[in-house]
Chain A
Protein backbone atom coordinates (compact mmCIF):
# COMPACT_ATOMS: atom_id res chain seq x y z
CA UNK A 1 0.00 0.00 0.00
CA UNK A 2 2.87 2.35 0.88
CA UNK A 3 4.45 1.71 -2.54
CA UNK A 4 1.15 2.44 -4.27
CA UNK A 5 0.95 5.76 -2.45
CA UNK A 6 4.61 6.76 -2.78
CA UNK A 7 5.64 5.75 -6.30
CA UNK A 8 3.13 7.95 -8.18
CA UNK A 9 4.20 10.88 -5.98
CA UNK A 10 7.99 10.68 -6.45
CA UNK A 11 8.00 12.72 -9.65
CA UNK A 12 6.44 15.71 -7.89
CA UNK A 13 9.70 16.16 -5.95
CA UNK A 14 11.77 16.32 -9.15
CA UNK A 15 9.42 17.98 -11.63
CA UNK A 16 11.07 21.23 -12.72
CA UNK A 17 9.56 24.36 -14.14
CA UNK A 18 10.14 24.16 -17.92
CA UNK A 19 11.07 27.86 -17.98
CA UNK A 20 14.24 26.90 -16.08
CA UNK A 21 15.28 24.95 -19.19
CA UNK A 22 13.61 26.76 -22.10
CA UNK A 23 13.37 30.47 -22.72
CA UNK A 24 11.62 31.74 -25.82
CA UNK A 25 13.70 34.96 -25.95
CA UNK A 26 16.98 34.81 -24.06
CA UNK A 27 19.17 32.13 -22.55
CA UNK A 28 17.45 30.01 -19.92
CA UNK A 29 18.98 29.88 -16.42
CA UNK A 30 19.91 26.19 -16.76
CA UNK A 31 21.50 26.73 -20.17
CA UNK A 32 23.59 29.57 -18.81
CA UNK A 33 24.80 27.55 -15.83
CA UNK A 34 25.38 24.38 -17.87
CA UNK A 35 27.42 26.25 -20.49
CA UNK A 36 29.54 28.05 -17.90
CA UNK A 37 31.96 25.20 -17.19
CA UNK A 38 32.14 24.14 -20.85
CA UNK A 39 33.05 27.64 -22.01
CA UNK A 40 35.86 27.62 -19.42
CA UNK A 41 36.87 24.19 -20.62
CA UNK A 42 37.38 25.42 -24.16
CA UNK A 43 39.01 28.73 -23.32
CA UNK A 44 41.40 27.41 -20.62
CA UNK A 45 43.92 25.02 -22.17
CA UNK A 46 44.88 22.99 -19.09
CA UNK A 47 41.25 22.22 -18.21
CA UNK A 48 40.54 21.23 -21.81
CA UNK A 49 43.46 18.79 -22.07
CA UNK A 50 42.44 16.99 -18.90
CA UNK A 51 38.77 16.72 -19.87
CA UNK A 52 39.42 15.57 -23.43
CA UNK A 53 41.95 12.98 -22.35
CA UNK A 54 39.32 11.47 -20.09
CA UNK A 55 36.47 11.45 -22.59
CA UNK A 56 38.67 10.02 -25.34
CA UNK A 57 39.50 7.00 -23.20
CA UNK A 58 35.79 6.17 -23.31
CA UNK A 59 35.00 6.90 -26.95
CA UNK A 60 36.51 9.03 -29.73
CA UNK A 61 33.05 9.68 -31.21
CA UNK A 62 31.92 11.23 -27.91
CA UNK A 63 34.81 13.65 -28.04
CA UNK A 64 33.78 14.72 -31.54
CA UNK A 65 30.05 14.90 -30.89
CA UNK A 66 30.61 16.81 -27.66
CA UNK A 67 32.44 19.43 -29.71
CA UNK A 68 29.71 19.57 -32.39
CA UNK A 69 26.74 19.88 -30.08
CA UNK A 70 28.52 22.45 -27.98
CA UNK A 71 29.35 24.63 -31.00
CA UNK A 72 25.79 24.35 -32.29
CA UNK A 73 24.51 25.33 -28.82
CA UNK A 74 26.84 28.30 -28.58
CA UNK A 75 25.71 29.53 -31.99
CA UNK A 76 22.10 29.58 -30.86
CA UNK A 77 23.03 31.17 -27.53
CA UNK A 78 25.06 33.83 -29.33
CA UNK A 79 22.02 34.73 -31.44
CA UNK A 80 19.84 34.81 -28.33
CA UNK A 81 22.14 37.06 -26.29
CA UNK A 82 24.41 39.67 -27.85
CA UNK A 83 26.33 40.16 -24.60
CA UNK A 84 27.25 36.49 -24.56
CA UNK A 85 28.27 36.56 -28.23
CA UNK A 86 32.00 37.43 -27.83
CA UNK A 87 32.55 34.60 -25.32
CA UNK A 88 30.53 32.22 -27.48
CA UNK A 89 32.46 33.07 -30.64
CA UNK A 90 35.79 32.68 -28.85
CA UNK A 91 34.86 29.21 -27.62
CA UNK A 92 33.33 28.22 -30.99
CA UNK A 93 36.46 29.25 -32.87
CA UNK A 94 38.71 27.41 -30.41
CA UNK A 95 36.71 24.21 -30.91
CA UNK A 96 36.43 24.52 -34.69
CA UNK A 97 40.13 25.31 -35.15
CA UNK A 98 41.25 22.47 -32.94
CA UNK A 99 38.86 19.97 -34.51
CA UNK A 100 39.93 20.82 -38.05
CA UNK A 101 43.58 20.70 -36.98
CA UNK A 102 43.14 17.23 -35.48
CA UNK A 103 41.27 16.01 -38.57
CA UNK A 104 44.13 17.27 -40.75
CA UNK A 105 47.08 16.17 -38.57
CA UNK A 106 45.77 12.92 -37.14
CA UNK A 107 43.35 11.96 -39.99
CA UNK A 108 39.62 11.31 -39.72
CA UNK A 109 40.11 8.03 -37.81
CA UNK A 110 41.01 10.12 -34.80
CA UNK A 111 37.28 10.77 -34.30
CA UNK A 112 35.95 7.41 -35.49
CA UNK A 113 35.50 4.12 -33.68
CA UNK A 114 38.05 1.38 -34.41
CA UNK A 115 35.71 -0.59 -36.71
CA UNK A 116 36.13 2.17 -39.33
CA UNK A 117 39.42 0.48 -40.29
CA UNK A 118 38.09 -3.07 -40.49
CA UNK A 119 36.89 -3.04 -44.10
CA UNK A 120 37.27 -0.87 -47.19
CA UNK A 121 35.19 2.20 -47.86
CA UNK A 122 33.06 2.05 -51.01
CA UNK A 123 33.52 5.66 -52.06
CA UNK A 124 37.02 6.78 -52.85
CA UNK A 125 38.82 8.62 -51.39
CA UNK A 126 37.64 7.48 -47.96
CA UNK A 127 35.84 10.17 -45.99
CA UNK A 128 33.27 10.02 -43.22
CA UNK A 129 29.99 11.87 -43.54
CA UNK A 130 29.86 11.83 -39.75
CA UNK A 131 32.92 14.07 -39.64
CA UNK A 132 32.15 16.13 -42.76
CA UNK A 133 28.52 16.81 -41.86
CA UNK A 134 29.12 17.86 -38.27
CA UNK A 135 32.13 20.05 -39.08
CA UNK A 136 30.16 21.63 -41.93
CA UNK A 137 27.29 22.40 -39.56
CA UNK A 138 29.73 23.85 -37.00
CA UNK A 139 31.17 26.14 -39.69
CA UNK A 140 27.75 27.01 -41.10
CA UNK A 141 26.30 27.99 -37.73
CA UNK A 142 29.45 29.94 -36.83
CA UNK A 143 29.06 31.89 -40.08
CA UNK A 144 25.36 32.37 -39.42
CA UNK A 145 26.17 34.15 -36.15
CA UNK A 146 28.92 36.29 -37.66
CA UNK A 147 30.91 35.80 -40.84
CA UNK A 148 34.59 35.00 -40.50
CA UNK A 149 36.42 35.16 -43.81
CA UNK A 150 38.81 32.27 -43.01
CA UNK A 151 35.91 29.89 -42.51
CA UNK A 152 34.03 30.69 -45.72
CA UNK A 153 36.22 28.65 -48.11
CA UNK A 154 36.38 25.79 -45.59
CA UNK A 155 32.60 25.58 -45.51
CA UNK A 156 32.09 25.98 -49.24
CA UNK A 157 34.68 23.29 -50.01
CA UNK A 158 33.23 20.82 -47.51
CA UNK A 159 29.72 21.37 -48.87
CA UNK A 160 30.98 20.79 -52.40
CA UNK A 161 32.68 17.55 -51.39
CA UNK A 162 29.62 16.30 -49.49
CA UNK A 163 27.25 16.94 -52.40
CA UNK A 164 29.62 15.35 -54.89
CA UNK A 165 29.91 12.20 -52.78
CA UNK A 166 26.20 11.99 -51.93
CA UNK A 167 25.31 12.21 -55.61
CA UNK A 168 27.30 9.03 -56.24
CA UNK A 169 24.84 7.01 -54.14
CA UNK A 170 21.38 5.96 -55.38
CA UNK A 171 20.00 7.13 -52.01
CA UNK A 172 21.94 10.42 -52.10
CA UNK A 173 23.91 9.55 -48.99
CA UNK A 174 27.58 9.26 -48.09
CA UNK A 175 29.21 6.73 -45.76
CA UNK A 176 29.91 7.52 -42.12
CA UNK A 177 31.68 4.17 -41.71
CA UNK A 178 32.62 1.73 -44.49
CA UNK A 179 29.45 0.96 -46.51
CA UNK A 180 27.41 2.30 -43.59
CA UNK A 181 25.36 5.45 -44.11
CA UNK A 182 23.52 7.03 -41.21
CA UNK A 183 20.33 9.09 -41.58
CA UNK A 184 21.58 11.13 -38.59
CA UNK A 185 24.83 12.11 -40.34
CA UNK A 186 23.27 12.71 -43.75
CA UNK A 187 20.45 14.89 -42.49
CA UNK A 188 22.99 16.96 -40.55
CA UNK A 189 24.99 17.30 -43.76
CA UNK A 190 21.89 18.38 -45.70
CA UNK A 191 21.12 20.96 -42.97
CA UNK A 192 24.63 22.37 -43.34
CA UNK A 193 24.15 22.50 -47.12
CA UNK A 194 20.89 24.37 -46.61
CA UNK A 195 22.51 26.93 -44.28
CA UNK A 196 25.42 27.37 -46.65
CA UNK A 197 22.91 28.17 -49.39
CA UNK A 198 21.33 30.71 -47.09
CA UNK A 199 24.72 32.31 -46.39
CA UNK A 200 26.17 32.58 -49.87
CA UNK A 201 23.05 32.48 -51.99
CA UNK A 202 23.95 29.18 -53.67
CA UNK A 203 20.83 27.33 -54.73
CA UNK A 204 20.94 23.76 -53.44
CA UNK A 205 17.15 23.42 -53.31
CA UNK A 206 16.98 20.83 -56.09
CA UNK A 207 19.52 18.59 -54.36
CA UNK A 208 17.77 19.04 -51.00
CA UNK A 209 14.35 18.25 -52.47
CA UNK A 210 15.76 15.17 -54.18
CA UNK A 211 17.32 14.04 -50.89
CA UNK A 212 14.02 14.49 -49.05
CA UNK A 213 12.10 12.62 -51.75
CA UNK A 214 14.63 9.77 -51.65
CA UNK A 215 14.43 9.61 -47.86
CA UNK A 216 10.64 9.43 -47.98
CA UNK A 217 10.59 6.65 -50.56
CA UNK A 218 13.74 4.60 -49.84
CA UNK A 219 14.63 5.07 -46.19
CA UNK A 220 11.34 4.50 -44.40
CA UNK A 221 10.71 1.52 -42.12
CA UNK A 222 7.41 0.00 -43.28
CA UNK A 223 6.13 -1.00 -39.85
CA UNK A 224 6.50 2.34 -38.11
CA UNK A 225 6.73 4.83 -40.96
CA UNK A 226 9.89 6.16 -39.30
CA UNK A 227 13.18 6.76 -41.07
CA UNK A 228 15.63 3.92 -40.54
CA UNK A 229 18.86 4.80 -38.80
CA UNK A 230 21.48 3.16 -41.02
CA UNK A 231 21.79 1.65 -44.50
CA UNK A 232 24.35 0.67 -47.08
CA UNK A 233 25.53 3.06 -49.76
CA UNK A 234 23.09 1.50 -52.24
CA UNK A 235 20.18 1.90 -49.82
CA UNK A 236 19.81 -1.53 -48.20
CA UNK A 237 18.45 -0.99 -44.69
CA UNK A 238 20.75 -2.02 -41.81
CA UNK A 239 19.35 -0.81 -38.49
CA UNK A 240 15.70 0.18 -38.18
CA UNK A 241 14.38 3.32 -36.50
CA UNK A 242 16.58 4.12 -33.52
CA UNK A 243 15.85 6.44 -30.61
CA UNK A 244 19.39 7.79 -30.37
CA UNK A 245 19.13 8.84 -34.02
CA UNK A 246 15.55 9.72 -34.97
CA UNK A 247 15.04 12.60 -32.51
CA UNK A 248 17.95 14.59 -33.91
CA UNK A 249 16.80 13.65 -37.42
CA UNK A 250 13.39 15.20 -36.77
CA UNK A 251 15.09 18.35 -35.50
CA UNK A 252 17.15 18.70 -38.70
CA UNK A 253 14.15 17.86 -40.86
CA UNK A 254 12.29 20.76 -39.27
CA UNK A 255 14.71 23.04 -41.15
CA UNK A 256 14.21 21.21 -44.43
CA UNK A 257 10.58 20.06 -44.55
CA UNK A 258 8.37 20.99 -41.62
CA UNK A 259 5.46 18.68 -42.48
CA UNK A 260 7.70 15.65 -42.89
CA UNK A 261 9.52 16.57 -39.67
CA UNK A 262 6.29 16.88 -37.71
CA UNK A 263 5.02 13.55 -39.06
CA UNK A 264 8.28 11.85 -38.03
CA UNK A 265 8.12 13.45 -34.57
CA UNK A 266 4.56 12.26 -34.09
CA UNK A 267 5.53 8.73 -35.05
CA UNK A 268 8.66 8.82 -32.91
CA UNK A 269 6.73 9.87 -29.80
CA UNK A 270 4.18 7.14 -30.50
CA UNK A 271 6.73 4.36 -30.99
CA UNK A 272 9.62 5.49 -28.80
CA UNK A 273 8.44 8.14 -26.32
CA UNK A 274 7.22 6.85 -22.96
CA UNK A 275 6.22 8.19 -19.57
CA UNK A 276 5.86 6.14 -16.40
CA UNK A 277 4.66 7.67 -13.14
CA UNK A 278 5.49 11.15 -14.44
CA UNK A 279 9.02 10.24 -15.59
CA UNK A 280 9.57 10.59 -19.32
CA UNK A 281 12.05 8.58 -21.33
CA UNK A 282 12.72 7.28 -24.80
CA UNK A 283 13.22 3.76 -26.02
CA UNK A 284 16.09 2.91 -28.34
CA UNK A 285 14.01 0.59 -30.52
CA UNK A 286 10.29 0.38 -31.34
CA UNK A 287 8.39 -2.80 -30.39
CA UNK A 288 8.62 -3.98 -33.99
CA UNK A 289 12.43 -4.00 -34.04
CA UNK A 290 14.99 -5.85 -31.97
CA UNK A 291 18.35 -4.14 -31.96
CA UNK A 292 21.52 -4.20 -29.92
CA UNK A 293 22.62 -1.99 -27.06
CA UNK A 294 25.56 0.02 -28.38
CA UNK A 295 27.62 3.14 -27.88
CA UNK A 296 24.81 5.30 -29.34
CA UNK A 297 22.02 3.91 -27.19
CA UNK A 298 24.06 3.89 -23.97
CA UNK A 299 22.69 1.67 -21.24
CA UNK A 300 19.27 0.18 -22.05
CA UNK A 301 17.01 -0.85 -19.17
CA UNK A 302 15.70 -4.34 -19.95
CA UNK A 303 11.94 -4.65 -20.18
CA UNK A 304 11.31 -0.92 -20.46
CA UNK A 305 13.71 -0.45 -23.38
CA UNK A 306 14.74 2.85 -21.76
CA UNK A 307 17.84 4.16 -23.48
CA UNK A 308 19.97 6.87 -21.91
CA UNK A 309 21.21 8.02 -25.32
CA UNK A 310 17.76 8.10 -26.88
CA UNK A 311 16.30 9.91 -23.87
CA UNK A 312 18.97 12.59 -24.11
CA UNK A 313 18.29 13.10 -27.80
CA UNK A 314 14.54 13.22 -27.14
CA UNK A 315 15.06 16.55 -25.34
CA UNK A 316 16.14 18.05 -28.68
CA UNK A 317 13.03 16.91 -30.54
CA UNK A 318 10.66 17.89 -27.71
CA UNK A 319 12.19 21.39 -27.68
CA UNK A 320 12.07 21.64 -31.48
CA UNK A 321 8.37 20.85 -31.64
CA UNK A 322 7.54 22.85 -28.51
CA UNK A 323 6.23 19.71 -26.82
CA UNK A 324 6.51 21.12 -23.31
CA UNK A 325 4.67 18.21 -21.71
CA UNK A 326 7.15 15.62 -23.01
CA UNK A 327 10.09 17.95 -22.35
CA UNK A 328 8.96 18.41 -18.76
CA UNK A 329 8.59 14.68 -18.19
CA UNK A 330 12.08 14.11 -19.62
CA UNK A 331 13.45 16.92 -17.44
CA UNK A 332 11.79 15.28 -14.42
CA UNK A 333 13.73 12.09 -15.16
CA UNK A 334 16.88 14.14 -15.61
CA UNK A 335 16.52 15.87 -12.26
CA UNK A 336 15.79 12.51 -10.63
CA UNK A 337 18.49 10.35 -12.21
CA UNK A 338 20.93 12.95 -13.55
CA UNK A 339 22.21 13.88 -10.09
CA UNK A 340 22.82 17.56 -10.74
CA UNK A 341 25.60 19.41 -8.95
CA UNK A 342 25.82 23.19 -8.89
CA UNK A 343 28.93 24.95 -7.68
CA UNK A 344 30.95 28.02 -8.61
CA UNK A 345 32.00 26.39 -11.90
CA UNK A 346 28.39 26.04 -13.03
CA UNK A 347 25.93 23.17 -13.39
CA UNK A 348 26.71 19.62 -14.33
CA UNK A 349 24.88 16.33 -14.28
CA UNK A 350 26.98 13.64 -12.67
CA UNK A 351 25.42 10.74 -14.57
CA UNK A 352 25.94 12.58 -17.85
CA UNK A 353 29.18 13.25 -19.70
CA UNK A 354 30.52 15.86 -22.11
CA UNK A 355 28.28 14.73 -24.98
CA UNK A 356 25.26 14.37 -22.73
CA UNK A 357 25.74 17.88 -21.33
CA UNK A 358 26.25 19.30 -24.83
CA UNK A 359 23.10 17.58 -26.12
CA UNK A 360 21.10 18.93 -23.18
CA UNK A 361 22.51 22.40 -23.74
CA UNK A 362 21.56 22.20 -27.39
CA UNK A 363 17.98 21.28 -26.47
CA UNK A 364 17.85 24.35 -24.19
CA UNK A 365 19.26 26.75 -26.76
CA UNK A 366 18.08 25.54 -30.21
CA UNK A 367 15.62 27.58 -32.24
CA UNK A 368 17.07 30.94 -33.28
CA UNK A 369 19.52 29.56 -35.87
CA UNK A 370 16.87 27.52 -37.68
CA UNK A 371 14.49 30.47 -37.41
CA UNK A 372 17.03 32.80 -38.99
CA UNK A 373 17.42 30.50 -41.99
CA UNK A 374 13.70 29.89 -42.35
CA UNK A 375 12.85 33.59 -42.29
CA UNK A 376 15.16 34.38 -45.17
CA UNK A 377 13.63 31.58 -47.23
CA UNK A 378 10.00 32.58 -46.67
CA UNK A 379 8.34 33.66 -49.94
Chain B
Protein backbone atom coordinates (compact mmCIF):
# COMPACT_ATOMS: atom_id res chain seq x y z
CA UNK B 1 0.00 0.00 0.00
CA UNK B 2 1.40 3.40 -0.90
CA UNK B 3 0.46 6.67 0.69
CA UNK B 4 0.94 10.07 -0.96
CA UNK B 5 1.89 12.99 1.19
CA UNK B 6 1.96 16.43 -0.35
CA UNK B 7 4.36 19.05 1.01
CA UNK B 8 3.29 22.70 1.09
CA UNK B 9 5.75 23.53 -1.71
CA UNK B 10 3.75 21.26 -3.96
CA UNK B 11 6.44 18.65 -4.47
CA UNK B 12 4.92 15.21 -4.29
CA UNK B 13 6.68 12.59 -2.15
CA UNK B 14 5.64 8.96 -2.11
CA UNK B 15 6.38 7.05 1.09
CA UNK B 16 6.03 3.32 1.21
CA UNK B 17 4.88 3.04 4.83
CA UNK B 18 3.73 -0.58 4.81
CA UNK B 19 4.66 -3.40 2.50
CA UNK B 20 3.63 -7.09 2.43
CA UNK B 21 7.07 -8.04 3.69
CA UNK B 22 6.83 -5.59 6.58
CA UNK B 23 3.65 -7.36 7.69
CA UNK B 24 4.96 -10.85 7.12
CA UNK B 25 8.21 -10.43 9.05
CA UNK B 26 6.61 -9.62 12.45
CA UNK B 27 4.08 -12.41 11.88
CA UNK B 28 6.89 -14.89 11.40
CA UNK B 29 8.89 -13.47 14.31
CA UNK B 30 5.92 -13.79 16.66
CA UNK B 31 5.33 -17.42 15.67
CA UNK B 32 9.06 -18.16 15.98
CA UNK B 33 9.16 -16.53 19.41
CA UNK B 34 6.13 -18.48 20.52
CA UNK B 35 7.59 -21.76 19.20
CA UNK B 36 10.81 -21.07 21.10
CA UNK B 37 8.95 -20.27 24.34
CA UNK B 38 6.80 -23.37 23.94
CA UNK B 39 9.81 -25.59 23.27
CA UNK B 40 11.52 -24.10 26.33
CA UNK B 41 8.59 -25.35 28.40
CA UNK B 42 7.40 -21.92 29.53
CA UNK B 43 3.78 -23.05 29.22
CA UNK B 44 4.30 -25.07 32.41
CA UNK B 45 4.95 -21.84 34.31
CA UNK B 46 1.62 -20.26 33.36
CA UNK B 47 -0.04 -21.97 36.33
CA UNK B 48 1.97 -19.61 38.56
CA UNK B 49 -0.13 -16.75 37.17
CA UNK B 50 -3.32 -18.59 38.22
CA UNK B 51 -2.14 -18.62 41.83
CA UNK B 52 -0.97 -22.18 42.06
CA UNK B 53 1.14 -24.78 40.38
CA UNK B 54 1.45 -28.51 40.60
CA UNK B 55 4.93 -28.47 39.17
CA UNK B 56 8.09 -28.35 41.21
CA UNK B 57 8.82 -24.76 40.25
CA UNK B 58 9.52 -22.38 43.10
CA UNK B 59 7.54 -19.45 41.76
CA UNK B 60 10.58 -17.30 41.25
CA UNK B 61 10.31 -13.94 39.54
CA UNK B 62 12.08 -15.40 36.51
CA UNK B 63 9.43 -18.08 36.08
CA UNK B 64 6.61 -15.59 36.48
CA UNK B 65 8.25 -13.35 33.89
CA UNK B 66 8.64 -16.27 31.48
CA UNK B 67 4.98 -17.21 32.04
CA UNK B 68 3.88 -13.64 31.28
CA UNK B 69 5.97 -13.57 28.10
CA UNK B 70 4.54 -16.94 27.09
CA UNK B 71 0.95 -15.73 27.52
CA UNK B 72 1.62 -12.59 25.45
CA UNK B 73 3.37 -14.61 22.71
CA UNK B 74 0.59 -17.23 22.71
CA UNK B 75 -2.20 -14.71 22.15
CA UNK B 76 -0.07 -12.78 19.66
CA UNK B 77 0.65 -15.99 17.73
CA UNK B 78 -3.00 -17.05 17.67
CA UNK B 79 -4.64 -13.68 17.03
CA UNK B 80 -2.17 -11.09 15.75
CA UNK B 81 0.15 -13.22 13.66
CA UNK B 82 -2.48 -14.74 11.35
CA UNK B 83 -4.00 -11.28 10.81
CA UNK B 84 -0.61 -9.86 9.83
CA UNK B 85 0.11 -12.81 7.56
CA UNK B 86 -3.30 -12.60 5.96
CA UNK B 87 -2.97 -8.83 5.50
CA UNK B 88 0.39 -9.41 3.87
CA UNK B 89 -1.10 -11.86 1.38
CA UNK B 90 -4.06 -9.56 0.64
CA UNK B 91 -1.74 -6.59 0.09
CA UNK B 92 0.60 -8.57 -2.13
CA UNK B 93 -2.36 -9.76 -4.23
CA UNK B 94 -3.76 -6.23 -4.54
CA UNK B 95 -0.40 -4.80 -5.54
CA UNK B 96 0.03 -7.50 -8.16
CA UNK B 97 -3.42 -6.84 -9.55
CA UNK B 98 -2.83 -3.08 -9.67
CA UNK B 99 0.54 -3.54 -11.41
CA UNK B 100 -1.05 -5.78 -14.02
CA UNK B 101 -3.73 -3.14 -14.69
CA UNK B 102 -1.09 -0.43 -15.13
CA UNK B 103 0.73 -2.55 -17.67
Contact = CB atoms under 8 A, between A and B. Distances in A.
Interface in A19-50: 37, 41, 47, 50
B66 to A, nearest CB: 12
A336 B79 CA distance: 11
Nearest to B54: A51
A6 B54 contact: no
Contacts of B74: 339
Contacts of B54: 37, 41, 47, 50-51, 54, 348
B78 A58 contact: no
B102 to A, nearest CB: 22
Interface stretch (A217-225, A242-250, A350-358): A350-358
B87 A353 contact: no
B87 A351 contact: no
Contact of A55 (B51, B87, B90): B51
B52 A339 contact: no
B47 A2 contact: no
Nearest to B94: A1
A7 B85 CA distance: 13
Nearest to A56: B52
Interface size class of B (residues with CB under 8 A): 20 to 34
B41 to A, nearest CB: 10
Contacts of B83: 2-3, 6-7
Interface string A323-344: 0000000000000100101000
With most chain A CB atoms within 10 A of its CB, the pick from B47, B52, B59, B78 is B52
A3 B52 CA distance: 35
B33 interface: no
B19 interface: no
B44 A1 contact: no
Nearest to A1: B90
Interface string B38-69: 00000110110111111010010000000000
The main secondary structure of chain B at its interface with chain A is helix
B52 A353 contact: yes
A2 B90 contact: yes
A341 to B, nearest CB: 6
A62 interface: yes
A339 B51 contact: no
Contacts of B82: 2, 6
Given A341-B43, A350-B44, A2 B50 contact: no
A55 B52 contact: yes
A51 B52 CA distance: 8
Contacts of A336: 78
A336 B90 CA distance: 26
A341 B44 contact: yes
Nearest to A5: B86
Contacts of B79: 6-7, 10
Given A336-B78, A341-B43, A341-B44, A351 B86 contact: no
A341 B44 CA distance: 8
A51 B46 CA distance: 15
B30 interface: no
B43 A59 contact: no
Contacts of A37: 54
A351 B51 CA distance: 9
Interface of A: 1-3, 5-7, 10, 13, 37, 41, 47, 50-51, 54-55, 58-59, 62, 336, 339, 341, 348, 350-354, 356
- A-B residue pairs, 3 tightest by C-beta: A58-B51, A2-B86, A2-B87
Interface of B: 43-44, 46-47, 49-54, 56, 59, 71, 74, 78-79, 82-87, 90
22 contacts: A1-B87, A1-B90, A2-B82, A2-B86, A6-B82, A6-B86, A7-B79, A10-B78, A10-B79, A50-B56, A51-B54, A55-B52, A58-B51, A62-B51, A62-B52, A339-B43, A341-B43, A350-B43, A350-B46, A350-B47, A353-B51, A356-B50
